[in-house]
Amino acid sequence: MISEPTTLYCENHPHVETTLRCNRCEKPICAKCAVLTPTGYRCTDCVRSQQKSFDTAVWFDYILAIGIAAVLAFIGSLLTTRIGFFTIFLAPFAGIVIAEAVRFAVRRRRSKRLFQLSAVATALGGLLPVLTGLAAGFLVIFPYIWPIVYTFLVTSTMYYRLAGIRI
Ligand SMILES: [Zn+2]
Ligand SMILES: [Zn+2]
């Protein structure tokens, strides 16, 4: 191969010339392989190995998190029919309680997927009374507006609280 010493070729694509280097391992990478991180361009290998250190959740954390989030969200959703309008004020508080309960149960282990699945479980738990009500044909009798408002608020606060805080 004839090449000037200054010409770099991507490590993953030997025919692609590039001027970029991974700022962690110094490996030449092309634009396709480079990942822009807050600290500059990195190769996909470095990004992956970095993500692993943030990913500490173990398999039963998922079961714990999903179970706790769904059950607590479901109980809260049932209560909204009693508290009505006050749901708007109490739902974010419920979201914080659920996030803290999940975090306590998984002993502060973390992963992005764990947070996402917890949010999905919260949403499903919150909507369960609505879904069962619809299935049973209580379309007119059951006041759906509060469980739906509640689900929206509780899911967003829960996710923000759980995923937003750096440990
Ligand atoms: Zn690298
Ligand atoms: Zn490449």
Distance of CA 112 from the midpoint of ligand 2 (Å): 27
CA distance 33 to 111: 24
pLDDT at 160: 94
122 has a pLDDT exceeding 90? yes
Ligand located closest to 34 CA: 2
CA distance 79 to 149: 13
Distance of CA 14 from the midpoint of ligand 2 (Å): 8
Distance of CA 32 from the midpoint of ligand 1 (Å): 14
User: How much is the average pLDDT of 133-137?
Assistant: 75
Distance of CA 59 from the midpoint of ligand 1 (Å): 29
User: How much is the average pLDDT of 13-31?
Assistant: 93
Distance of CA 113 from the midpoint of ligand 2 (Å): 27
Pairing of strands 8-9, 40-42: unpaired
Cβ burial, residue 77 (10 Å; 0-12/13-18/19+): buried
pTM > 0.75: no
Distance of CA 1 from the midpoint of ligand 1 (Å): 24
User: How far, CA to CA in Å, does 164 sit from each of 10, 99, 110, 114, 141?
Assistant: 35, 11, 12, 13, 38
CA distance 5 to 159: 50
pLDDT in tens, 108-117: 899 989 999 9
pLDDT at 143: 65
pLDDT in tens, 30-85: 999 999 988 889 999 998 888 777 788 999 999 999 999 999 999 999 999 888 88
Distance of CA 43 from the midpoint of ligand 2 (Å): 9
